[in-house]
Amino acid sequence: MLTISQLAGYAGVTVRAVRHYHKIGLLPEPERDHSGYRTYNAAAVVRLIRIHTLTDAGVPLARVQELLDAGPEEFAGGVQEVDRELRAGIRRLQGTRKRLARLAAGDHLALPQRVVDYLDRLRGLGVEELYIEMERDAWIMIAAQAPHLIDAVITKKHEQLDDPDIVKLYGFLRGALDSPADDPRVVEIADIVERLMIRTVEAGEAGAADGLDDRFVDLLDSTMAESSSGAKRVVAILEERGWRGWTRIEQVPADRLNAQPGSTEKHSSAMRPSPNCTRRQTIE
């Protein structure tokens, strides 16, 4: 006859595990002997080994009892069912791991894959991570505020990266906007932004930014303007030339577009960022 510690040693489990199996009814608990100790026979060893073998193979404790008591055919069917459940669980865990890996990169949090791909393209252009993080945050806000606009906007953004002006503009985002406000590159940035704004309006692509209210537009604009002294200077230069607004163009200078004097039609560029070069194109 064996003590509980000897039983556990034969089966390769801990004494604590044996007591747990007693508690849940998997392993019958023997009566105490005249000395007050519980002793175990060979049948207990065999059953404990079978329990340990099944649990070690991944069978949940809740299923062990039915498999121990099953006949050969029922046992085989039960094992196959457990195997299917384990494989399904593995697939779920693999999916969870992939999501965690994406979240660890930061960009995938609350962002569609196409937006993440776009941010990666910016990294390929050498854009500093500071500006990429700012653009990522802007996309997160837009995805939350107007998710129905994401597909159309990101398609346009990907197309813009084939535009030499856009590529040149992003080329400046390697420190130019952190330079003093009188850095001549800031004026060149403003020139590029204005060309993009003109193209937007002349191409009739400055459609209304459905889903973005004035307060949200102000939030985007203020985030851009407060990002650096260079960004503030770009906005100031554009205002000197008659452009008002950033995410949404509020006034178009007539002399720049050969339009009728006094035109004050509002145009939205936030959702058509390629020509207007919204805050994301300019500082992010």
Whether residues 163 and 246 share a domain: the answer is: yes
> Across residues 257-278, what is the average pLDDT?
42
d(CA 245, CA 278): 10
**Which domain CATH number covers 47?**
1.10.1660.10
List the domain range (segments joined by +) for residue 8. Answer: 4-103
> Across residues 107-122, what is the average pLDDT?
81
Report if pTM > 0.95. no
Token pair of 151 as six digits:
């597909």
Whether residues 99 and 117 share a domain: the answer is: no
Q: Which amino acid does the sequence have at 189?
A: I
Let me know if residue 108 belongs to a domain: no
d(CA 141, CA 72): 59
Q: Which of 54, 74, 103 is the last residue of a domain?
A: 103
Q: Which of 52, 71, 103 is the last residue of a domain?
A: 103
d(CA 39, CA 4): 7
Whether residues 221 and 121 share a domain: the answer is: yes
Whether residues 122 and 202 share a domain: the answer is: yes
Q: What is the pLDDT of residues 157-214, one digit of tens each?
A: 888 888 888 888 887 765 555 566 677 888 888 898 888 888 877 777 654 454 567 7
Q: Which of 43, 78, 103 is the last residue of a domain?
A: 103
Token pair of 81 as six digits:
């069912």
Whether residues 150 and 253 share a domain: the answer is: yes
- Quick one: which of 278, 92, 277, 103 has its CA closest to 195? 277
| Alpha-carbon dihedral angle through residues 186, 133, 117, 127, given to the nearest 10 degrees | 30
Place of tokens 């069917």: 77
Whether residues 47 and 135 share a domain: the answer is: no
Whether residues 71 and 10 share a domain: the answer is: yes
Neighbours of 119 (CB within 10 A): 22
Beta bridge partners of 40: 2
User: Residue 283 in contact with residue 134, Cβ under 8 Å?
Assistant: yes
Q: What is the pLDDT of residues 47-83, one digit of tens each?
A: 999 899 888 888 888 888 888 888 888 888 888 888 8
| pLDDT at res. 48 | 92
Whether residues 222 and 128 share a domain: the answer is: yes
Q: Which amino acid does the sequence have at 83?
A: D
Let me know if residue 266 belongs to a domain: yes
- Quick one: which of 35, 85, 91 has its CA closest to 62? 85
Computed over every residue of the chain, the mean pLDDT equals 77
Token pair of 58 as six digits:
């991944």
Place of tokens 């006949």: 71
User: Residue 206 in contact with residue 272, Cβ under 8 Å?
Assistant: yes
Three-class SS state of 268: strand
